[in-house]
């Protein structure tokens, strides 16, 4: 009877130990994966974020019947200050946008007025594109606002990619969950999917023409697509970009809007 | 009395000319009644329907809520103050939560307003009881929409449509809602681009637990003017836009009535001028026989004004059955009428109030009195000898 009880106790101990070992291994693996994911996100941030940047870009908005292209030059400092001047077409030329610490002003030359875009106006589309003012303004680093897990590896556009799943760790964020295909060598996302809380796919961004700019990799073409509506999406092309330049402080003042 | 007798005799003697004037004036009179009756009927119906379908017997608004600024909707929500919550518990009020959303029927993008409404409410005519669902699927969201939105979004009963919204923190969420019913209402502001879903479901979807944007009151509910920042809006305030539109319409109707009346009165004016011109010898005789000029002016004025009395009489003979028939059958409105954005039924039932009829009668009589008097002022300047000789004044 005693030997039976002893065997039962040994067996139980073995089972508990095994369970603990498996649990610890899983936790460690998850933690390690999360850690790796975090470091990948930080590398992505290093590629995409900079102290400041000056860029000339064009945005092609594909409508139902026709497409139109808007070109602009922008000056950005960190994630708080940004100034954009639209260069073409003629109807948009001279329109200027200034972002200062969560506030956005737009100057329209036709009306000769500066208006502040605040609150829920920020959620409106920028010039009919698939991007909202908020999308353009949210420059927070991914590693600051998302928890990350590596969910797999794959090949995309002949590049080896790591698949990341990002879950928001802050409340005030537009996309609760994101899925990202990151170039395993260059640490630049090649595809990004934004999901609603319910799991519904909302937007997709595809990064193309990855180029070496100074000491980082940067996508010169990003195709944004609102997945809920029909259409070909919006192409955002960066024609020229330079990082860590000397930008005069007066650029980021309301006086520069006029 | 003599003047009245003479006036009737003279009018009778004028024959066809009198009846022509009377007929034209009676048509103007009946059309004025019809037009004003139609506007009054529309006004009453629109107010009644707006109360029944949208505003109830007054509302309590969240401090941030401004119905003219949809951008306020996202922030206009909070817990209901206890005093207002008591009204809801008693069944004297129903809370509504608003959230801006985007619907994607067939890949198209439509800006919509999701209204969370208590399925058990009885204050508004919105068929919210249809939102009671026994579906076990946790993702099932029943929704009802109005006919206008159903047509513009090309949605019908049983369809599922993807809707995207933001929760209280601004995070996107999207799910399919199932259209369980399409209701018919005369009030476009309770229908256009609006999706009604169960209140608790919307609260859960937006993480706005126990919150509301506005509270609709039932008839007889006594609400505080201000409570916890929420403000009471009575029906005078809530119906102001409708009343302003009706006032503008009334202004338009005054112009039309004025034109119709002017045509009829012009005929009376002409008749008066002609009478005075042709009956100078008669006028001279009256004065020669001892009638004062004032009495002769009175005689001719009464004669002219009598046209209006006869016109009202004639108008009543043919107009009353005609107007009653219209009241019974209603005036059909074109299908596109409700696109104007104000409450309008398929058929308008005219309302002929005693005040409106009396005002129209007084207007017709007084205006014909004035028009009849103006030409007779010449009589007071007439010399009886010249008048007897038929010399033009």
Digitized pLDDT (tens) for each residue of chain B, 393 residues in all: 777 787 788 888 778 888 888 898 899 999 999 999 999 999 999 999 999 999 999 999 999 999 988 778 888 999 999 888 988 998 899 999 999 998 999 878 888 999 999 999 999 999 999 998 777 788 899 999 999 999 999 999 999 999 999 898 889 999 999 999 999 998 988 998 999 999 999 999 999 999 999 999 998 888 777 777 899 999 999 999 889 988 888 888 888 888 888 988 888 888 888 888 888 888 888 888 888 888 888 888 888 888 888 899 999 999 999 999 999 998 888 766 666 667 777 788 999 999 999 999 999 999 999 998 988 887 777 777 777 776 655
User: Residue B139: closest CA among chain A residues belongs to which residue?
Assistant: A198
Is the pLDDT score of A188 beyond 80? yes
Q: CB A200 to CB B171 under 8 A?
A: no
- pTM of the entire predicted model: 0.77
Is the pLDDT score of A11 beyond 60? no
Cβ contacts of B170 on chain A, cutoff 8 Å = 123, 172-174
Question: Where do the domains of chain A lie?
Answer: 47-257
Task: Report, as an integer, the average pLDDT of A7-21.
Answer: 55
3-state secondary structure of A207: strand
According to DSSP, the β-strands at B172-183 and B211-212 are unpaired
Question: Where do the domains of chain B lie?
Answer: 2-52+241-389, 59-233
Task: Report, as an integer, the average pLDDT of A73-83.
Answer: 87
Query: To the nearest whole percent, how much of chain A has pLDDT over 90?
Result: 44
Q: CB A230 to CB B107 under 8 A?
A: yes
- Residue B380 has what pLDDT? 73
Q: 3-state SS string over chain B?
A: CHHHHHHHHHHHHHCHHHHHHHHHHHHHHHHHHHHHHHHHHHHHHHHHHHHHHHHCCCEEECCCCCCCCHHHCCCCCEECCHHHHHHHHCCCEEEEEEEEEEEEHHHCCEEEEEEEECCCCCCCCCCHHHHCCCCCCCCCCEEEEEHHHHHHHCCCCCCEEEEEEECCCCCEEEEEEEEEEEECCCCHHHCCCEEEEEHHHHHHHHCCCCEECEEEECCCCCCCCEECCEEEECHHHHCHHHHHHHHHHHHHHHHHHHHHHHHHHHHHHHHHHHHHHHCHHHHHHHHHCCCCHHHHHHHHHHHHHHHHHHHHHHHHHHHHHHHHHHHHHCEECCHHHHHHCCCCCCEECCCCCHHHHHHHHHHHHHHHHHHHHHHHHHHHCCCHHHHHHCCCC
Task: Report, as an integer, the average pLDDT of A103-131.
Answer: 80
- Residue B312 has what pLDDT? 92
**pLDDT, mean over chain A:** 83
Q: Is B166 on the interface with A (CB under 8 A)?
A: yes
Q: CB B171 to CB A120 under 8 A?
A: no
Higher pLDDT: A134 or A70? It is A70
Query: To the nearest whole percent, how much of chain A has pLDDT over 70?
Result: 83
- Residue A150 has what pLDDT? 94
Q: How many CB atoms lie within 10 A of CB A49?
A: 19
3-state secondary structure of A254: helix
Task: Report, as an integer, the average pLDDT of A218-224.
Answer: 93
Question: Quick one: pLDDT band at residue A120, thresholds 50, 70, 90?
Answer: low
Task: Report, as an integer, the average pLDDT of A80-94.
Answer: 90
- Residue A16 has what pLDDT? 52
Cβ contacts of A171 on chain B, cutoff 8 Å = 169, 171
- Residue A6 has what pLDDT? 65
Quick one: tokens of B62? 């969240």
Q: Is B207 on the interface with A (CB under 8 A)?
A: no
Classify domain A47-257 at the CATH topology level. Answer: outer membrane lipoprotein receptor (LolB), chain A (2.50.20)
Cα separation, B129 vs B121, whole angstroms: 8
Task: Report, as an integer, the average pLDDT of A65-94.
Answer: 89
List, for residues A16-53, the tens digit of each pLDDT value: 555 544 544 444 444 445 558 889 999 998 888 788 88
Contacts of B146 (CB under 8 A, 6+ apart): B182, B183, B184, B185, B190, B191, B192, B194
Cα separation, A54 vs A62, whole angstroms: 26
Is the pLDDT score of A132 beyond 80? no
Q: Is B102 on the interface with A (CB under 8 A)?
A: yes
Cβ contacts of B167 on chain A, cutoff 8 Å = 197
Cβ contacts of A196 on chain B, cutoff 8 Å = 164, 172-175
Cβ contacts of B140 on chain A, cutoff 8 Å = none
Burial of B305 (0-12, 13-18, 19+ CB in 10 A): buried
Report the run of H or E that residue A6 belongs to, with start and end: helix A2-48
Task: Report, as an integer, the average pLDDT of A124-151.
Answer: 81
- Residue A21 has what pLDDT? 47
Which one, of A163, A149, A143, lies nearest residue A26 by Cα?
A149
- Residue A46 has what pLDDT? 86
- Residue B272 has what pLDDT? 85
User: Residue B173: closest CA among chain A residues belongs to which residue?
Assistant: A196
- Residue A18 has what pLDDT? 55
């Amino acid at each position: 009877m005693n030997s039976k009880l002893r065997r039962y106790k040994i067996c139980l101990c073995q089972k508990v130990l095994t369970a603990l070992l498996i649990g610890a291994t899983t936790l460690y693996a998850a933690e390690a994966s999360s850690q790796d994911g975090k470091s990948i996100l930080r590398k992505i941030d290093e590629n995409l974020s900079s102290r400041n940047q000056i860029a000339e870009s064009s945005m092609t908005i594909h409508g139902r019947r026709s497409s139109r292209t808007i070109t602009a030059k922008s000056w950005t400092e960190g994630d708080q200050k940004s100034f954009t001047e639209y260069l073409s077409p003629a109807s948009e030329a001279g329109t200027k946008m200034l972002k200062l610490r969560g506030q956005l002003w737009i100057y329209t030359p036709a009306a000769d007025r500066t208006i502040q875009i605040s609150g829920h106006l920020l959620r409106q589309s920028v010039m009919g594109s698939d991007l909202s003012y908020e999308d353009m303004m949210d420059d927070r680093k991914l590693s600051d606002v998302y928890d990350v897990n590596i969910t797999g590896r794959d090949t995309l556009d002949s590049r080896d990619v790591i698949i990341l799943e990002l879950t928001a760790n802050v409340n005030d964020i537009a996309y609760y969950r994101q899925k990202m295909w990151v170039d395993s060598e260059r640490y630049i996302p090649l595809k990004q999917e934004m999901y609603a809380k319910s799991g519904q796919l909302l937007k997709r961004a595809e990064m193309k023409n990855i180029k070496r700019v100074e000491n980082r990799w940067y996508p010169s073409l990003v195709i944004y697509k609102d997945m809920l509506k029909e259409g070909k999406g919006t192409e955002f092309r960066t024609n020229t970009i330079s990082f860590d330049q000397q930008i005069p402080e007066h650029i980021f003042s309301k006086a520069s809007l006029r | 009395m003599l003047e009245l007798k003479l006036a009737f005799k003279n009018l009778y003697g004028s024959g066809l000319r009198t009846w022509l004037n009377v007929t034209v004036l009676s048509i103007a009179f009946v059309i004025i009644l019809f037009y004003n009756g139609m506007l009054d009927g529309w006004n009453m119906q629109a107010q009644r329907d707006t109360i029944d379908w949208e505003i109830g017997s007054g509302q309590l608004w969240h401090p941030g809520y401004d119905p003219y600024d949809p951008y306020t909707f996202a922030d206009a929500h909070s817990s209901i103050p206890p005093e207002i919550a008591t009204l809801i518990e008693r069944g004297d009020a129903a809370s509504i939560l608003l959230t801006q959303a985007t619907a994607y029927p067939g890949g198209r993008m439509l800006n919509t307003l999701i209204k969370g409404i208590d399925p058990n409410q009885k204050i508004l005519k919105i068929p919210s009881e249809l939102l009671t669902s026994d579906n076990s699927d946790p993702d099932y969201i029943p929704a009802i929409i109005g006919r206008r939105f159903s047509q513009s979004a090309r949605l019908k009963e049983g369809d599922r449509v993807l809707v995207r919204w933001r929760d209280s923190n601004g995070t996107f969420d999207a799910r399919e809602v199932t259209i369980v019913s399409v209701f018919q209402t005369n009030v476009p502001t309770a229908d256009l681009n609006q999706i009604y879903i169960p209140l608790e479901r919307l609260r859960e979807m937006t993480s706005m637990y126990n919150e509301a944007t506005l509270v609709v009151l039932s008839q007889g509910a006594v609400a505080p003017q201000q409570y916890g920042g929420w403000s009471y809006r009575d029906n005078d305030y809530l119906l102001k836009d409708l009343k302003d539109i009706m006032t503008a319409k009334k202004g338009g109707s005054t112009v039309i009535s004025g034109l119709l009346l002017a045509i009829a009165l012009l005929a009376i004016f002409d008749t008066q001028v002609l009478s005075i011109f042709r009956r100078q010898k008669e006028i001279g005789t009256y004065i020669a026989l001892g009638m004062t000029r004032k009495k002769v002016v009175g005689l001719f004025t009464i004669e002219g004004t009598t046209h209006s009395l006869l016109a009202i009489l004639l108008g009543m003979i043919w107009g009353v059955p005609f107007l009653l028939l219209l009241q019974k059958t209603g005036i059909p409105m074109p299908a596109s009428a409700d696109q104007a954005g104000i409450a309008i039924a398929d058929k308008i039932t005219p309302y002929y109030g005693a005040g409106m009829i009396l005002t129209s009668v007084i207007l017709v009589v007084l205006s014909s009195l004035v028009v009849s008097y103006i030409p007779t002022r010449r009589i007071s300047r007439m010399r009886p000898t010249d008048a007897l000789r038929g010399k033009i004044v």
